[in-house]
Structure 1
Amino acid sequence: MEDAYAVEDTYDVVVVGGGPGGEVVADRAVRAGLSAAVVESGAVGGECSYRACVPSKALLRPGAARAAARSVDGARQAVTGALDPARVLARRDRFTARGDDSGQADWLAGAGIPLVRGHGRLAGERRVEVTGADGAVRTLRARRAVVLSPGTDPALPPVEGLDRIGVWTNRQATTSDAVPERLVVIGGGVVACELATAWRSLGSAVTLLVRGRSLLGDWEPCAGEEVARGLTALGVTLRFEAVATRVTRDAATRAVTVETDDGAALVCDEVLVAVGRRPRTEDLGLHTVGLTAGDWLPVDDTCRVTAVDGDWLYAVGDVNHRAPLTHMAKYQARVCAAAIAERAAGRPADTGAWQAWDARAGHAAVPQAVFTRPEVASVGLTERAARAAGLAIRAVEYRVGDVAGAALYADDHRGRAKLVVDEGRGVVVGCTLTGPLATELIHTATVAVVAEVPLERLRHAVPAFPTVSEVWLRLLETYGL
């Protein structure tokens, strides 16, 4: 019987979601000789390009640059003015093109990847139904694989009135064209800390409501401590163990009142909620392949969805809940495309050289960078996580400001460095850095963790003098080498 699907609607790989992971997996599949199409209902490039990583870093950089200049005597006296909010926001818009994805769409076309505009849903094995803006439905068929990369949405906590007053999430907080005079941020994680830093540097009076006793709760304690110190120095009000219970917005003044569990009432112009993410899988057609709508999609080390039989359904990026970071979505996409290509050729998918996570201890080589003031960065396991994994570890710390290169870089340089060493193997399994350049320095630690470089060899990687990287020499000396 002749196939009922038109030739132009059949591809080797159909990718649902044109964010960082979706773009890369389609590109890698095409490079491997397969055909691929990308389905996208919003802007190609995804959340990161327009409403998360890129605009938030564009908002943060001017304040960091000003602070860096003012950290050195002689330069400090030349920097006397405040930031220009209008120019900062205009610079952000140059990076995001205000959501115009024509450049990204052109890139897909140049790579030989058709872009199908519309909302994609699974419609059974190897089939995706796409509903366009006009309501027309088109069905795509995948010969080899369907890759789901829909991303996530901001999660809202169960606070009375929160879903009715028009609160900010990362999307509004990274795209706003005006600086709120007063901003209340609910959350204590990366997004909350970064955006509190950005809007405070632009002039907002910011209050951070943190449910727990510290910031960045899954990190080494020193990271949260240093970020808390930095936010306080910027003028951010930190309220720990504070839970918002009710929010209301005045219809006339548009002011928002945030009530907390200790009886306080905070009045502000906007409320930013940054308490986590939820998978964008409610309307993805998961039920047609036996999965539950709204769930995360667990995968194996080739990004194949484990709850579906056969080697045809994959999930990359935040939706698989492995490592919700843009750079890891791209990494997973490379792994996924390689596996699909190998299986299409009738060969087993060997990802041994690709795995950024260690089966013995979890996601052991995932770098993270937070652009607060001070910056903080980490890779691998915290001391607590390493001990919980049963590793025999030893942790060493060093004050980065005691390194000559750091003292030259900034007057009164503050920063902390911590290594977690697996004593049994003699290798670094975790590193956390705080202070200026932490986000750039972390890649050295990433290489050490991924390559499992023995400390006896690592000691011969001599850092140049006088650089901040000399902290590596000091950490190894503190360890006893």
Structure 2
Amino acid sequence: MNQATDEYDVIVLGAGPVGENLADRTRAAGLSTAIVERELVGGECSYWACVPSKSLLRPVLARAEARQVPGLREAVGGSLAVADVFAHRDKQVGNWKDDGALTWLDSAGIDLVRGHGRLAGPRRVAVTPPDGSGGGERTLTARHAVAVCTGTRAALPDMPGIAEARPWTSREATSAGTVPDRLIIVGGGVVAAEMATAWCGLGSRVTVLVRGSGLLNRIEPFAGELVAETLREAGAEIRTGTSVKGLARPGGAEGPVTVTLESGEQLEADEVLFATGRAPHTADVGLETVGLEPGGWLTVDETCRVTDVPDGWLYAAGDVNHRALLTHQGKYQARIAGAAIGARARGVERLDTGRWGEHATTADEAAVPQVVFTDPEVAAVGLTAAQAESEGRSIRVVDYDMGQVEGAALYADGYRGRARMVVDLDRGHLIGVTFVGPGVSELLHSATVAVAGEVPIDRLWHAVPSFPTISEIWLRLLEAYRG
């Protein structure tokens, strides 16, 4: 077997959005950088998560909103052109080819090494080439840093029949080319809610099995309630307090799936989607060669440097560090980590790691934004009221019916939505905001700026929203706060 050894300043494992952003920042700092990827450059988000799921959801949500506009609802009364929806989804993911991403890597001066990368001791990465590509294992050495940006995979429970039944995970749910007549979704989080919205809109008879008390239980309770209400109106069945104990697909790949519940009841579907959480992609990246336990989450400091590895050369950004499992938050971490690696390579002894400092991932704890692309949309940033109370904060919660805002009434007939802001009374600024309603995703960044900027609540009174827009919800919330 031929051995090739190459030396770089920085080596990045994983060429998803997080790895790409980290590599871009280290290149901008003047450091030679290689990125190792065994699948498609662009990663999970680009091909099997964020991009394809939103491509499937956009026509579903647009139709739902159009049906609430007088004079337009009659024109959109039919079914979606499913083949066109799938074709648009395929175009958005580049037909699962990464040619465009390769062009960007080349323009940024980042070297791509195809294959499965594993740590092989301090500052060393062994890369096994893709099957059939020829050549032997290649060893890369990093002068300054190695960054693990390998993301997560769908976590499937250990239960009888699951391997033989071949259930969908998020990958199959976003890349499928046919609409199952009957779809059972196991889970109650973001993936479950979004995929229930998408496939119900595309024509499936959807049943959602939620172990807990409702959907989206990590966001304000009214968010999941409003989403569940709309899903039921669209024909979906949502069953809470329900656990699955087994699967069977006796007829093989083309046959139906039988789902056995803890109660003993059996349900039948054409496909079953398990949306039951994520696990770190760290089982086979060589963590044991540097004294870490394979398969676990990686604990990091505020610069995304792994705390349990001596000499400070190993970093972990994105989902693998379990700080905030969101693509945009992982990209934020990558920018922080890339800047920190660059500064340390220049010999900077004291990094700016204070709260909101250049080299600190403060937003991971204080201002994480998230949009759930359901009907209605859910947009939230910062802490929920329950989270703030659990931290012992003195807070005031202000709620408002978004349908009472003039801009919302003009946006959709019978607009249903709700807004909440959580105010830290000791500090005098917002620590959490949640919007639920059609079109609220574009409101979120204003809330994120207010929370991350710790803008005094009295100063927000002078931020005047335009009339007649949905953003007047800010004025209504502030009026309610002032009394």
TM-score computed with the length of structure 1 as normaliser: 0.96
Q: 1:460 aligns with which of 456, 462, 469?
A: 462
| 3-state secondary structure, aligned to 2:297 | coil
The reply to whether residue 114 of structure 1 matches residue 118 of structure 2 is no
Cα distance in 2, alignment partners of residues 357 and 86 from structure 1: 44
Give the conservation status (yes or no) of the 8 Å contact 1:38–1:115.
Answer: yes
Quote the residue 2:192 is aligned against.
192
Cα distance in 2, alignment partners of residues 18 and 77 from structure 1: 46
Cα distance in 2, alignment partners of residues 157 and 418 from structure 1: 35
Cα distance in 1, alignment partners of residues 309 and 474 from structure 2: 46
Deviations 1:378-427 (A, max 9, x none): 00000111011111111010000000110011000010000000000110
Deviates more, 1:250-259 or 1:55-64: 250-259
Quote the residue 1:214 is aligned against.
214
Quote the residue 2:75 is aligned against.
78
Cα distance in 2, alignment partners of residues 434 and 230 from structure 1: 12
Give the conservation status (yes or no) of the 8 Å contact 2:152–2:281.
Answer: yes
Quote the residue 1:175 is aligned against.
175
| 3-state secondary structure, aligned to 2:113 | strand
Give the conservation status (yes or no) of the 8 Å contact 1:393–1:421.
Answer: yes
Quote the residue 2:327 is aligned against.
326
The reply to whether residue 469 of structure 1 matches residue 471 of structure 2 is yes
Q: 1:357 aligns with which of 343, 362, 384?
A: 362
Equivalent residues, number: 473
Deviations 1:341-378 (A, max 9, x none): 110111132244344536xxx72200000000000010
4+ long deviations beyond 4 Å: none
Residues 400/356 of structure 1: CA separation in 2 closer, same or farther (3 Å cut): farther
Quote the residue 2:148 is aligned against.
148
User: What amino acid is aligned across from residue 301 of structure 1 in structure 2?
Assistant: E
CA displacement at 1:80 relative to structure 2:
2.3
Q: 1:480 aligns with which of 475, 479, 482?
A: 482
Give the conservation status (yes or no) of the 8 Å contact 2:56–2:85.
Answer: yes
1:365-384 correspondence to structure 2 within 5 Å? 365-384=367-386
Identical-pair percentage = 56
User: What amino acid is aligned across from residue 294 of structure 2 in structure 1?
Assistant: A
Quote the residue 2:64 is aligned against.
67
| 3-state secondary structure, aligned to 1:275 | coil
CA displacement at 1:135 relative to structure 2:
6.5
| 3-state secondary structure, aligned to 2:168 | coil
Quote the residue 2:282 is aligned against.
281
| 3-state secondary structure, aligned to 2:126 | strand
Cα distance in 2, alignment partners of residues 224 and 22 from structure 1: 32
The reply to whether residue 55 of structure 1 matches residue 60 of structure 2 is no
Cα distance in 1, alignment partners of residues 26 and 86 from structure 2: 37
Quote the residue 1:308 is aligned against.
309
Quote the residue 1:15 is aligned against.
12
User: What amino acid is aligned across from residue 107 of structure 1 in structure 2?
Assistant: W
Cα distance in 2, alignment partners of residues 439 and 321 from structure 1: 24
User: What amino acid is aligned across from residue 369 of structure 1 in structure 2?
Assistant: V
Deviations 1:256-279 (A, max 9, x none): 110111222111100000010000
| 3-state secondary structure, aligned to 1:296 | coil
| 3-state secondary structure, aligned to 1:363 | helix
CA displacement at 1:339 relative to structure 2:
0.2
User: What amino acid is aligned across from residue 421 of structure 2 in structure 1?
Assistant: L
TM-score computed with the length of structure 2 as normaliser: 0.96
Residues 135/191 of structure 1: CA separation in 2 closer, same or farther (3 Å cut): farther
| 3-state secondary structure, aligned to 1:174 | helix
Q: 1:89 aligns with which of 86, 90, 103?
A: 86
Give the conservation status (yes or no) of the 8 Å contact 1:297–1:320.
Answer: yes
CA displacement at 1:97 relative to structure 2:
1.5
Cα distance in 2, alignment partners of residues 127 and 349 from structure 1: 25
Cα distance in 2, alignment partners of residues 172 and 260 from structure 1: 23
Deviates more, 1:130-139 or 1:309-318: 130-139
User: What amino acid is aligned across from residue 418 of structure 2 in structure 1?
Assistant: R
Give the conservation status (yes or no) of the 8 Å contact 1:15–1:39.
Answer: yes
Deviations 1:130-185 (A, max 9, x none): 00024721000000000000111100123321122111000001001111111000
| 3-state secondary structure, aligned to 1:153 | strand
| 3-state secondary structure, aligned to 2:410 | helix
Cα distance in 1, alignment partners of residues 295 and 262 from structure 2: 30
User: What amino acid is aligned across from residue 314 of structure 1 in structure 2?
Assistant: Y
Quote the residue 1:406 is aligned against.
408
Cα distance in 2, alignment partners of residues 356 and 193 from structure 1: 29
Give the conservation status (yes or no) of the 8 Å contact 1:356–1:450.
Answer: no
User: What amino acid is aligned across from residue 59 of structure 2 in structure 1?
Assistant: P
Give the conservation status (yes or no) of the 8 Å contact 1:357–1:366.
Answer: no
Deviations 1:432-480 (A, max 9, x none): 1100122111111100000000011011001011100000000011111
Give the conservation status (yes or no) of the 8 Å contact 1:356–1:366.
Answer: no
Q: For structure 1, which runs of at least 5 residues remain unmatched after alignment?
A: none
